[in-house]
Amino acid sequence: MYELSCFLPQEKDLKISVYDYDILTRDEKVGETTIDLENRFLSRYGSHCGIPQQYCISGVNTWRDQLKPTQLLQNVARFKGYAPPVLSENGRKINYGGRDYTLEEAEANKILHQHLGPGEERLALHILRTQGLVPEHVETRTLYSTFQPNISQGKLQMWVDVFPKSLGPPGPPFNITPRKAKKYILRVIVWNTKDVLLDEKSITGEEMSDIYVKGWMPGNEENKQKTDVHYRSLDGEGNFNWRFVFPFDYLPAEQLCVVSKKEHFWSLDKTEFRIPPKLIIQIWDNDKFSLDDYLGFVELDLHKTIIPAKVPEKCNIDMIPEYKADSPQKAARTASLFEQKSMKGWWPCYVEKDGSRILAGKVEMTLEVVNEKEADERPAGKGRDEPNMNPKLDLPNRPDTSFLWFTNPCKTMKFIVWRRFKWLFIGLIILLILLLFVAVLLYSLPVRISKCYC
């Protein structure tokens, strides 16, 4: 905010320029805009100071004009040739322009608070807002350059108040200091998966997947986290009991996350981005000798989080509406995670294939948003690391077949080769015994026959 003194009409033009900052070279002017202060001050529409919606004597929106609403109303009546406004009933009724205005009618269906001023001033302000005066607003002005005077160089949002010093000091200015983001933490517990696509075949020909889950919040891609691997899932089921912890800065009024980072590695200063709070969950198939295979994902808006299914049988791809411009869509059942604080259930993951969506799996999770104070009172570590609490995560109860086959040959023979080819091995052993018996018989038969002839 700038506060300047001037003499009208000698210094009537206010010129505002926007520059491009350079470290090594001279700053370059982007564009400028000029405001005629005399024109605003003498305007009959009161454009020197906009009319607010409420008359407040305290709080963030304190009345800042030098004249009170009743004084402004007298000036407007004198300018329009009306009789001076007449107040009655202790200021709860004003006769202006041949019409009676009451405070009850003016404030019907309005919420009153402790910052409001006297009733006669509130009623006078209500009348002023019906007289065509300039309301309080932020104006958008176009920037122009002298090199290209007819081409817009951008927009500038601002407002200007003009106060004559002869009427005394104005009210306190607006506090336009940017809001400070509050620190929040999103905790995601991945419990289980179900019906995940089986993307590979084992050495014995069985369809399987080595499942793990990855998650992050857009804007904080460097904080991607993933679970451990559930090896050799034969039915698409995975067990994890794994916690993701995503700290983020959040503006509750704007409902946006604040992310500050350098756009390029050569950038000297960080750039601030404001993006909606979202969570992306992906299901992957782990590969040791090649790139991991992507199976599917789900994207959840924390302000409009899809309400999960309580059981996996009711979790389907129809829970996430497919947005198309040419077809009406059924609204999904959503709720704000910031209001509910916690959600638990099953969410569907899908993958786009040939222009249509295919269910890639179901993931059971617990989502929880806590502020900085709650996080200190109820700590929780990543994964299953300490402090492993709120809640405590035990090791998942995985089947015996869940292991990496080439790291344990004994288990591989027991749970993979023997379980699948058990009867083949038994048959081969029986056949080998029979062949051995026949070979012994054939070997000893000539000896027996020769003894008999002798």
Rama region for 123: left / alpha / beta (φ>0; ψ in -120 to 50; rest): alpha
Residues above pLDDT 70, as percent of the chain = 89
Task: Find the mean pLDDT for residues 93-101.
Answer: 93
What does the pLDDT read at residue 452?
64
Of residues 250 and 440, the one with the higher pLDDT is: 250
Model confidence at 342, pLDDT cuts 50, 70, 90, reads very high
Task: Find the mean pLDDT for residues 61-67.
Answer: 93
What does the pLDDT read at residue 354?
84
If you average pLDDT over each of 13-17, 45-49, 263-267, 439-443, which comes out highest? 13-17
Model confidence at 422, pLDDT cuts 50, 70, 90, reads low
pTM above 0.85, yes or no: no
Rama region for 113: left / alpha / beta (φ>0; ψ in -120 to 50; rest): beta
Give yes or no for a contact between 105 and 89, defined as CB atoms under 8 angstroms apart. Answer: no
Find all residues with CB under 8 Å of 88, minimum gap 6, and list them: 94, 95
pLDDT in tens, 315-338: 999 898 775 444 455 667 899 999
What does the pLDDT read at residue 325?
43
What burial class does residue 308 get, using C-beta atoms within 10 Å of its C-beta: 0-12 exposed, 13-18 middle, 19+ buried?
buried
- What does the DSSP 8-state code read for residue 48? T
Radius of gyration of the chain measured on its C-alpha atoms: 38
Range with the lowest mean pLDDT among 37-51, 229-243, 397-411, 418-432? 397-411
- What does the DSSP 8-state code read for residue 51? B
* Statement: residue 339 has pLDDT above 90: yes
